[in-house]
């Protein structure tokens, strides 16, 4: 064996030894590192179990479902204030749609005002084609005003002026903007409390930014500012098809609060006290208060017996079957010339008759 081959053999052995030494060092390092990671993992598991004792392998799936449910609630609540589904149409220019809807709503409200015999001015929107961004808030404002005005007409409200205002940023809430509308109206005193309560049921939901009243004879002259809310929802929430919202109209509020408000009407106008009667002088009798419901007779509607009842407050006649509701009353029973209604707020019965039977 030559010296050269001996040197090659020694060099090979040295390299093998160096590799083995390096592997040994790596093993020691990795073993130490693995021990640290294992210890950290045990500590983290202990903290997790202490914080979330019920956490397991299925928890992530449950959290994902909770997030989807929360997204559905967020989207559902946003649609109560800003129900874009009512006016958003794919492939349809929102600016053109606003102009079309403005004309349709203006004509419908004008016709209803004529039928109800109430006053209605122009809606106050500018006669021009808005930008796509403007159309978004104008549609919310338009639909909100439509619902409020239509509701007011049902209670005999006369609208004097309607002035839609431009949008404002809500700095304290990201993605939320406010649009306001100024209205001046005259409302019958006996209908005011119901009008205010029912506004809370309107969708898109509107609120009172300010309200001032002045009594004039048997009517209240009211200057109010309504606030419409615009909500920009996260696109990730909107695109989540499983988080489909269940949109419901808001109720008039907690039943107890509404009943208290109705029974203790702050806008009630007391009747004038009677002057003492002079002897020998016959005092004129005070006129009876107008009755809200008038019985108009029996009928058969789609093979079902119903009664026709005129609602003088809403100025309409409706057909109601037994156990069906009309406003805040339920039809309990009826005969050929009368009907019995039960008030759902105080459970008291009200017997109504036709004018010829009184």
Predicted pLDDT of residue 354: 75
Give the pLDDT score at 160: 94
Residue 145's Cα: distance from chain center in Å?
A: 14
What integer pLDDT is reported at residue 248 of this predicted model?
46
Question: Is residue 286 within 8 Å of residue 273, measured between CB atoms?
Answer: no
CATH number of 74-263: 3.30.70.60
What pLDDT does 156 receive?
92
pTM above threshold 0.95: no
> Closest Cα to residue 203, out of 83, 75, 72?
83
Q: Which helix (H) or strand (E) holds 30?
A: helix 3-51
CB 334, CB 349: distance < 8 Å? no
Residue 289 confidence (pLDDT): 52
* pLDDT in the model for residue 328: 85
148-189: per-residue pLDDT in tens? 999 999 989 999 999 998 877 665 566 777 889 999 999 988
CA distances from 54 to 50, 96, 351 (A): 9, 55, 60
Q: Would you kindly state where each structural domain of the chain is located, as residue ranges? A: 74-263, 293-357
Polymer length of the chain: 358
Question: Phi and psi of 55, rounded to 5°?
Answer: -70, 130
Per-residue pLDDT tens over the stretch 256-281:
555 655 565 555 555 444 555 555 55
pLDDT at position 11: 72
The predicted pLDDT at position 133 comes to 81
Alpha carbon distance 349, 2 (integer Å): 125
User: What's the CA gap between 258 and 194, in Å, rounded?
Assistant: 10
The sheet that has 304-311: what strands, in order across it? Answer: 293-301, 304-311, 316-320
Residue 306 CB-half CA count within 13 A: 15
For domain 293-357, the CATH architecture is: Roll (2.30)
DSSP H helix total and E strand total for the chain: 7, 11
CA atoms within 13 A on the CB side of 132: 5
Question: What pLDDT is recorded for position 109?
Answer: 93
Q: What are phi and psi of 255, to 5 degrees?
A: -55, -45
pLDDT at 251: 46
Q: Longest Cα pair distance anywhere in the chain, in angstroms?
A: 159
What pLDDT was estimated at residue 95?
84
Which residues of the chain, if any, have pLDDT below 70?
1-10, 48, 52-60, 71-72, 74-78, 86, 127, 169-174, 233-290, 301-302, 315, 355-358
Backbone angles phi, psi at 345, to 5 degrees: -85, -35
Q: Which of 56, 250, 58 is nearest to 147 (CA)?
A: 250
Q: What was the pLDDT predicted at 159?
A: 93
Cis ω before 204 (30° cut-off from 0): yes
């Amino acid at each position: 064996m030559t010296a050269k081959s001996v040197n090659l053999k020694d060099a090979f052995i040295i390299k093998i030894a160096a590799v083995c030494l390096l592997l040994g060092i790596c093993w020691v390092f990795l073993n130490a590192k693995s021990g640290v990671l294992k210890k950290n993992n045990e500590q983290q598991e202990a903290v997790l179990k202490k914080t979330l004792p019920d956490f397991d392998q299925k928890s992530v799936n449950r959290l994902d479902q909770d997030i989807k449910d929360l997204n559905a609630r967020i989207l559902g609540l946003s649609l109560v204030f800003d129900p874009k589904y009512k006016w958003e149409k794919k492939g349809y220019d929102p600016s053109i749609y606003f102009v079309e809807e403005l004309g349709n709503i203006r004509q419908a409200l004008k016709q209803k005002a004529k039928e109800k015999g109430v006053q209605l001015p122009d809606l106050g929107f500018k006669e021009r084609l808005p930008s796509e961004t403007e159309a978004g808030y104008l549609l919310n404002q338009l639909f909100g005003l439509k619902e409020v005005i239509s509701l007011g007409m049902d209670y005999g409200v006369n609208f004097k002026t309607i002035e839609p205002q431009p949008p404002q940023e809500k700095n304290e809430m990201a993605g939320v903007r406010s649009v306001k509308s100024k209205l001046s109206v005259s409302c019958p005193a006996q209908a005011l409390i119901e009008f205010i309560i029912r506004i809370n049921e309107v969708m898109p939901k509107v609120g009172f930014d300010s309200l001032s009243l002045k009594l004039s004879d048997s009517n209240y002259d009211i200057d109010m500012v309504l606030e419409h809310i615009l909500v920009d929802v996260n696109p990730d929430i909107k695109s989540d098809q499983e988080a489909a919202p269940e949109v419901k109209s808001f109720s008039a509020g907690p039943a107890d609060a509404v009943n208290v408000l109705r029974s203790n009407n702050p806008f009630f106008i007391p009747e004038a006290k009677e002057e003492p009667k002079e002897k020998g002088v016959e005092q004129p009798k005070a006129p009876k208060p107008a009755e809200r419901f008038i019985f108009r007779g029996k009928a058969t509607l789609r093979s079902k017996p119903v009664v026709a009842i005129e609602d003088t407050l809403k100025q309409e006649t409706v057909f109601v079957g037994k156990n069906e509701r009309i406003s805040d009353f339920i039809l309990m029973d009826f005969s050929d010339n009368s009907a019995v209604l039960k008030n759902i707020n105080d459970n008291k019965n009200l017997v109504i008759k036709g004018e010829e039977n009184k």
